[in-house]
Structure 1
């Protein structure tokens, strides 16, 4: 998955509270909380954008699927599989 945020943008400090058990486990794993949080946020934003795109294009998707159901796929008679 490609990173969606611009890596050239300056980082901004934020106040983050974390469950103490998770903090201890993170320390034992030597994981980077900031990097993990950024990745999780990027994935959440990508998921949200995909859902929004699907909602905005649902009529076109339905129309396309209906056309394929009625007329078949473009060049279907030429496929060899």
Structure 2
């Protein structure tokens, strides 16, 4: 979301169906519903992309972990901690 915050993004009017009680409460609390919905959607997209990346790269991650388990970390002798 940071990139979207630092650049001017084009907003598109969108119709959403929301729980009416929740919407009423949000408005009574002064919550910007559009921005809150946008933040929630951005978080959902981030989580989805992370899960997709992990699934697509599971083999490479497992291979790398197996290598480290069998051989230790490359250049481990140079670590100071």
Bin the TM-score by the shorter chain. 0.7 to 0.9
Measured in 2, the distance between the counterparts of 1:8 and 1:59 equals 38
Residues 16-75 of structure 1 show CA distances to partners (whole Å, capped at 9, x for unaligned) of: 222122122102210100000111111111111111111111110000000000110011
Structure 1's consecutive aligned runs of 4 or more residues displaced over 2 angstroms after TM superposition are 1-10
Scaled by the length of structure 1, what TM-score is found?
0.83
Quickly say closer, same or farther: Cα 1:5–1:52, change in 2 above 3 A.
Answer: farther
User: Higher helix fraction: Structure 1 or Structure 2?
Assistant: 2
Q: Which has the higher contact order (CA 8 A, sep 6+)?
A: 1
Match of 2:67 in 1: 67
Match of 1:55 in 2: 55
Q: What is the CA distance between 1:76 and its match in structure 2?
A: 1.1
Match of 1:39 in 2: 39
Scaled by the length of structure 2, what TM-score is found?
0.83
Give the gaps of 5 or more residues in structure 1.
Answer: none
* Paired residues, number: 81
